[in-house]
Each structure stands twice: as C-alpha cells, then as structure tokens.
Amino acid sequence: MSKAFEGLRVIDTTHVLAGPFASYQMAVLGAEVIKVEAPDDPDQARMQGSDRKLSNDHMGTAFMAQASNKKALALNLKTDSGREALKRLMATADVFVENYRPGAFEKLGLGYEDTVKLNGGLIYCSISAFGSAGPRRTQTGYDNILQAFSGMMAMTGDGNSGPLKCAAPVVDYATGTTAAMAITAALYQRDHNGGRGQFIDVSMLDVALILSSSHVTGYLWNGSHPEQKGNRFPFATIGHYRASDADMMIAASNLDQQRRLWTVLGREDMIKTNNDQRLDGHAEEAAVLQSIIETKPADYWETFLGEQRIPASRVRRLEDALADPQVAARGILHKHQALGSPIDGLTVPVAAFSMSESKPEVRELPQPVGAQTEELLKELGYSGDEIKAMRLEGAIN
C-alpha cells in the first residue's frame, strides 16, 4: 500500500517547532515537503540544540528533530522574483503552511485570498500565537509565552516552587499535531467537495486551552480554580512517593484499583467504598502509603504492583526511558546512516503511532539551507539565466 500522503506536495514556510513539526508528520507519511527559508535568515531552530558546532553550522539538533524527509528551498520573499517563485510553487501544491504574524503574508500578496486564485484546491494553514482573529492577533509568542498566558504555568508546580513551565515544549508539539490533524481533515473534505481547498487557522493559545480542557470546564462550572498541587492528586492512591532508593509514581486511580492496592499491601482497613471517603481520607492514606513504599526499592514496586494491574513507575531520566526495551520495540526512533556526513548516526523521533499497511518512516537526511533550490526552480520551469538573475537580485543564495 502506498503511503497515506504519497503524491501530495506540502510547502512549509514555518520556523522553530510547531509548524515544522506539522509538516514533518506529513513528511513521514509520504508527502513531498518543501521547506522554504530566507537565504540570509533561515529557521532559527537551525542555530539551536545540544551540539554547538552543529548549531553554528545551521544544523542544530533542535532543527533536525523535525527536518528529515524535507527538501530545502531558499527564497528571499522581500524580492519580487522570490515572491513570484513561491507563487509558482504554491500553484503546484496541495498544502501551504506558514507561521508568521497574522497579516504578514497578506502584505506580501501571499495571503489565502491571493493564493486561492492561483490554486483553488490549496489547503492554506496559518499557525500563530493567538490566531488570525481577536484583539491579540498581531502579538507573537513561543511555547513558554503561551504556557504563561494560558494559565498552564500558574497551575504547575507546588506552593514553594512558584509557577513552572513544562520542561518539554508541549504547546509547540501539540500545536503541530493539531495543525497536521486539521490539514488531514481539510484534505479529506477537499476530496468530497469537488476539490475545493480552504483556510485553516491554528492558534497556540487555543491549543493550550484544549490541553487544559478538564480544568477549563471545572472552572467555568463552579469557579474551582486549578491551583498548584505539585505531584499531589485528589486521591492519595494516585501520586508521588519515595521508595527506598528512588522517586516513583503510583496510580491506583479508580475504586477497584485502590481496593486491590490496599489488599496486596495488607491494609484492607484503608479500603474506601466511595470517592468522597477517599477525598476526606487523603492525609491518612498518604502517610500510610509512604510508610510502606519507602521500605523497598522502586524497581520492586514497579514489578509487584504491575503484577496486580496497578500502574506504577519509577521516575526515570530521559536516558533511562530511551534505554528501555519498550522504546526499541515500538520503533518510534530512526537512526540515520550517512557515512562521511557530520550527522551520521543522528537519531530522531518519527511519529507517535504506527499503521499496519503504511507505517510512518524517515528516508532522507535533514538538508542544509537551500540545498534543493536550483533543482526545484528548474522543475518550475526556470532557465539557467533566470536563476542567475535571481541570484544577482538576492532572491536566492
């Protein structure tokens, strides 16, 4: 079976993380993704990551995490010929993704209303901090800004820590995933509506609020504001405990699980028959549970409780999690083989799902800025002389 998005062309003018991740998810499912960057001002993620030399070479690990399977086209959209080249490219595309400040592409004559005239079937996806409508539409922001603005940081941490952002850029990745899902839905709809494209507006703020859905609903129902609770949950049988050698999480979440937990621990006297009793008995239960858990190592409790179908896990560092055989069994990671290349052995996540007939996969290395510029321009019908003129104008490098 062919790949899910095989035969589709995606133009990706985004930068940093959310937008590039959206197009990356399409790329691992077979789409031809063309990343468009300014020759003298490429994606800032190229200069970021854990390896300074790679960052200085514009191939930072922060960029390469979602850059595989993409072609690289360098165009200066401040020039007439650069904009014209992008229009020609958009006329051949199925999807266009951008994450500049709302209105920026309209000023260049590259907004949805402009480009739909060139390609009525184009799915045009705009990603921004606050969306393309509303009083804050022109404000910019990154993952940490949206975690702060949305209320997410204020509810994260404990009474002593102050507000904390999530260490992983969850709003960025969730925004990229949301955009990919929206694009997929629009492509499906196009196939059932005579080939007509549409505009997609993705807001990082909207995504952050969706990630907090249960808290939003609770607050809007009775004004119960989600305060900082650290690792504390409403029920004591869910939460953080210190084993004899390490921290761990236990999740005897429902009534049946808490009954099994107290039974296997020999404390049937702590079993509750309803959740109100569990709420009221939190302090006593937490003290009893801590006194038991601290007597044995975390690995023991993982195994013992797991056998009783009670979720439990030692708090692992990333290196420990990646070394676990479960990760290898899932095939979520791809290791590039590129003898002689400075990124030989680069390992990147692929996708958080598998498909029986057309699995997501990585085939091509992340590309330097503009690596396929001339190739793509020639494909669009540009002659050697025209390409030379574009280079003189500063439209390409």
DSSP 14: -
**CA dist., res. 397 & res. 395, Å (int):** 7
Q: Which residues are known to be catalytic?
A: 172
Token pair recorded at residue 43: 């994606």
* Percentage of the residues of the chain whose pLDDT score is greater than 90: 99
**CA dist., res. 47 & res. 54, Å (int):** 8
Parallel/antiparallel/unpaired status of strands 333-335 and 347-349: antiparallel
Token pair recorded at residue 350: 């692929």
- Give the number of other Cβ atoms within 10 Å of residue 156's Cβ: 18
For residue 59, give the nearest of 25, 313, 51 by alpha carbon: 51
Residues 147-180: tens digit of each pLDDT:
999 999 999 999 889 999 999 999 999 999 999 9
Give the SS3 label for residue 45: helix
**CA dist., res. 165 & res. 27, Å (int):** 30
b/e sequence 321-349, b meaning 16+ C-beta within 10 Å: eeeeeeeeeeebebebeeeeeebeebebe
Predicted TM-score (pTM) of the model is 0.95
Which CATH fold topology does 238-321 show? formyl-coa transferase, domain 3 (3.30.1540)
* Rounded average pLDDT over 80-96: 98
pLDDT of 310 higher than 90: yes
The per-residue pLDDT of the chain, averaged, comes to 97
Tell me whether domains 9-211+332-393 and 238-321 share a fold: no
Rounded to the nearest angstrom, the gap between the alpha carbon of residue 174 and the centroid of all alpha carbons in its chain is 5
Q: For residue 59, what pLDDT band results from cuts at 50, 70 and 90?
A: very high
Q: For residue 1, what pLDDT band results from cuts at 50, 70 and 90?
A: confident
Domain spans in the chain, listed from the N-terminal domain onward: 9-211+332-393, 238-321
Give me the CATH code for the 9-211+332-393 domain, please. 3.40.50.10540
Can you list the alpha helix ranges (DSSP code H) found in 134-169? 143-149
Listed in sequence order, the residues at least 6 apart from 130 whose beta carbon sits closer than 8 Å to its beta carbon are 136, 137, 139, 141, 203, 204, 205
Parallel/antiparallel/unpaired status of strands 9-12 and 95-98: parallel
Residue type, 124: Y
Residue type, 295: T
**CA dist., res. 135 & res. 131, Å (int):** 10
